Amino acid sequence: MIGLEHYLVLTGILFSIGIVGVIRRTNLLMLFFSTEILLNAVNIGFAAVSKYYGDLNGQIFSFFIIAIAASEVAVGLGLLVLWYKKEGTIDLTSLQMMKG
C-alpha cells in the first residue's frame, strides 16, 4: 500500500535531484529545468498531503505554484535570450565578469 510517507519521500528525492542540478549544472537552460523539477517536487508533496487529509486546499496550492513557475520561467527565458544575443553562449562560466 502506498501511503503519505512514500509520496513525501518521492518529493524529497526529486527535490534533492533538483538541488544537485542547480548546484552542478553550468548550462543556464538546464539550470531552469532543475528549478522546474524543484517546483514540481513540491507540487507532488502538496497534492499528496491534500489527498491524505481530504483537504482540497493543497491541490489549489499546486495550481498556484504551476502559475508562478510559469511566470518565473517567462522572466528567466527572456533574460536567457538577452544573454545569448550578447554573449553567444548560455554557459554559466561566461557569467564571471562581475568578480572583484
Partner 1 sequence: MGDISYLLPLLFVGVGAVVLMLLSYTKSLSISSIAKIALGFLVLAFISNVYYFGELHKVYPYENVFFGMIVSDTYSVYFNSILLVGAIATILIGWDYFRPDRRFTGEFFSLLLFSTFGMMLLVQSAELLSAFIALEIASLSLYVMIGFQTDNIRRVEASYRYLVLGSLSGVLFLFGTALIYASTKTTFLGNIGVELLPQTGKDISLAIGGATLILITFLFKISAFPFQNWTIDVYDGSPLPVSAYMASTFKVAVFAFMLRFVAMDLGYIKDYWDGLLMGVIILTLAYGTFLALAQNNLKRMLASSSIVHTGYLLIAFVSIDIIGESASSSIIYYLIAYFLSAMGAFGLISYISSSDKLRLTYEDFKGFSHVRPYMSAMLSIFMLSLAGLPGTIGFIGKFYIFSGAIEAGYTVLATSAILATFISIYYYFKLIALMYFYPSPILSNVPPLKGLPPIFIGFIAIAVLWGGIGNTFIAFFPSIDFLIDVAKLSHRSLFLQ
Q: List residues binding partner 1 (CB under 8 A).
A: 4, 8, 11, 15, 18-19, 22, 28, 31, 35, 38-39, 41-42, 45-46, 49, 52-53, 55, 57-58, 61, 64-65, 68, 71-72, 75-76, 79, 82-83, 86-87, 95, 97-98
Residue with cell 538577452: 82
Least distance between partner 1 and beta carbon 18 (Å): 8
Nearer to partner 1, 24 or 87 (CB): 87
Question: Residue 73, CB half-sphere, CA atoms under 13 Å: how many?
Answer: 17
Give the residues across from 27 on adjacent strands.
91
Q: Which residues contact 29 (CB under 8 A, 6 or more apart)?
A: 80, 90
Nearer to partner 1, 1 or 23 (CB): 23
Q: Which residues contact 73 (CB under 8 A, 6 or more apart)?
A: 32, 36
Least distance between partner 1 and beta carbon 13 (Å): 13
Least distance between partner 1 and beta carbon 72 (Å): 5
Least distance between partner 1 and beta carbon 69 (Å): 9
Q: Measured on CA atoms in the order 21, 22, 23, 28, is the torsion positive or negative?
A: positive
